[in-house]
């Protein structure tokens, strides 16, 4: 997996690079950028699978960078890692279609590596605190209350795990079921709710 780190703090970039290289040899940092301009220059010559992107940068907002990358380089995945996890930022990032968001304040090298792998494999990844913000955003937007579909107990558990921001593998491990079984249940949940993605399921919120 090829990663570019985009952050204007030298010590942060060094720390992430070192942690990844020491603990996770399957993940290669192929470049670093401290600004939007540096990143887009780098993308002209460097093949990359995923960007590890901060929001606050000296020349461009990370959200604007994400929007441009999604337009110009749609195959590149984006994982936001930032302390700026406001509801406004999270909502805008969801609208852009960014693949994941974890907090600098509540993450460690193993969480980061798990997030990078999940996103590159095609799964959205949102940390627990980000997932809580997502649920609050969409609960606040609900204008009417209506009777929802009925779920099995295992489906309810999977919905609540998604609400917590767990990855597919983490859900399967927690519930002690095969990954394919978990995916089958999730497909049924999608069908009952009339949705097509884990992000939409996270918006649904937790369930008793």
Tell the residue number behind the tokens 């030298």, with chain if given.
10
The answer to whether 109 and 24 have CB atoms below 8 angstroms apart is yes
Looking at the fold, whether 115 and 162 belong to one and the same domain comes out as: no
Please choose, from the candidates 188, 194, 122, 123, the residue with its C-alpha nearest in 3D space to the C-alpha of residue 156.
188
Task: Write out the two tokens for 186.
Answer: 């999730």
Looking at the fold, whether 24 and 112 belong to one and the same domain comes out as: yes
| Average confidence (pLDDT) per 10 residues, the chain, 208 residues | 96 92 91 96 96 94 94 95 85 88 86 92 86 73 60 89 86 92 89 83 69
Q: pTM of whole model > 0.75?
A: no
The answer to whether 63 and 93 have CB atoms below 8 angstroms apart is yes
SS3 179: helix
How far apart are alpha carbons 131 and 125 in whole angstroms?
Answer: 9
Looking at the fold, whether 117 and 176 belong to one and the same domain comes out as: no
Looking at the fold, whether 108 and 152 belong to one and the same domain comes out as: no
Looking at the fold, whether 158 and 128 belong to one and the same domain comes out as: no
Number of domains the chain is built from: 2
Domain CATH code at residue 121: 3.40.50.2300
Q: Residue 89's pLDDT is what?
A: 85
What backbone torsions phi and psi does residue 125 show, to the nearest 5 degrees? Answer: -140, 115
Q: Residue 196's pLDDT is what?
A: 83
Task: Decide which of 89, 104, 134 is a domain's last residue.
Answer: 134
How far apart are alpha carbons 138 and 201 in whole angstroms?
Answer: 11
168: containing domain: 142-204
Q: Residue 166's pLDDT is what?
A: 86
Looking at the fold, whether 7 and 37 belong to one and the same domain comes out as: yes
Looking at the fold, whether 103 and 10 belong to one and the same domain comes out as: yes
Task: Decide which of 92, 112, 134 is a domain's last residue.
Answer: 134
Looking at the fold, whether 174 and 123 belong to one and the same domain comes out as: no
């Amino acid at each position: 997996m090829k990663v570019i780190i985009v952050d204007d703090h030298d010590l942060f970039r060094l720390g992430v690079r070192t942690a990844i290289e020491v603990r996770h040899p399957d993940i290669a940092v192929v470049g670093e950028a401290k600004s939007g301009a540096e990143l887009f220059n780098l993308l002209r010559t460097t093949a990359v699978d995923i960007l590890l992107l901060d929001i606050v940068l000296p020349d461009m907002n990370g959200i604007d960078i994400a929007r441009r990358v999604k337009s110009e380089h749609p195959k590149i995945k984006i994982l936001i890692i930032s302390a700026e996890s406001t509801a406004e930022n999270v909502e805008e990032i969801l609208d852009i279609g960014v693949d994941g968001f974890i907090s600098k304040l509540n993450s460690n090298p193993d969480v980061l590596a798990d997030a990078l792998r999940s996103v590159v494999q095609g799964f959205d990844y949102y940390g627990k605190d980000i997932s809580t913000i997502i649920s609050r955003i969409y609960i606040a937007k609900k204008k009417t209350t209506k009777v929802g579909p009925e779920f099995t107990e295992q489906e309810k558990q999977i919905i609540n795990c998604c609400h917590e921001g767990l990855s597919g593998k983490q859900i399967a491990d927690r519930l002690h079921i095969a990954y394919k079984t978990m995916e089958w249940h999730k497909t049924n949940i999608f069908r009952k709710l009339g949705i097509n993605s884990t992000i939409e399921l996270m918006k649904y919120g937790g369930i008793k």
